[in-house]
Structure 1
């Protein structure tokens, strides 16, 4: 099978995203050790395993759809999706840098720690999840993977229903008070949702 230049470029991009995820896991492991040393407690271990498999499957599906169905680069939609995927990464790293050692891929809360309300958390409760939602839509659409975008966005919504409830419950009353006036996902949006 001969691959076009755009397919090769897309696969390289997906490879870079995979490397990025591995770096994030290293950072998350380091931050988990820090949190546990501060008396942190972890919740949501069962859904974390599902989430890990889901996100790995997502990246494989992005490549698979393009290769199996021979998707072509969709022109303007592809370029807009690339811009959206880059914006998602910028938002993700704004959230990560704002949380510092408190950022984690797991739900680990440190009892007595003040909620972080600066950076993107001034605007919404869950900017990192906004970045994930954006990525589920835009990353596959860069190269015409509309089935992956649709199916994994639906799956991610179901996963976020479980994860956000577990996280907000674990963070407790101080978190609820600090974020009572902030929407979950969109500035000016609903304070309810998944």
Structure 2
């Protein structure tokens, strides 16, 4: 498990999927704002379920996000579009409604930076988010991401085109938090 100060990023478990479907994916507005493809209803047991983990998809590393205090499932996180030649990837996350506004986003972004830069040896991480997603913009900037541009009217969301902000962070510019990002040693 990767650890931040408030949350941990761990492998997705089969019993996470129905919870994530009900509390995160089935929220049509949030799902439409978070996905590049149009929202559509998908059963938790569908083979097309976007929350299923394909262990052979090397360019996409999904995590389930849990609170460190108590282990409650609070969302998802991923590095996606991993390009090993150019040593770059994209950062994404989704928090369940009850977990929003608690500072988890910044913690998740920090843990994903650790994973990308330290564990994977990447050189660049990138975030694309809707221009009105102030929570994600804050989480990115708190972790050192710089705004690199605006993609005008690039996202079709629930009947309108919205701007996206492009943010980037290079390994050389990253300043890691002091949190232990790896699993604690087992107690004997």
Structure having the larger proportion of residues in helix: 1
TM-score, with normalisation over the residues of structure 1? 0.32
Q: Which has the higher contact order (CA 8 A, sep 6+)?
A: 1
Which of the pair is proportionally richer in strand?
A: 2
Larger-Rg structure: 1
Q: Normalised by the size of structure 2, how large is the TM-score?
A: 0.33
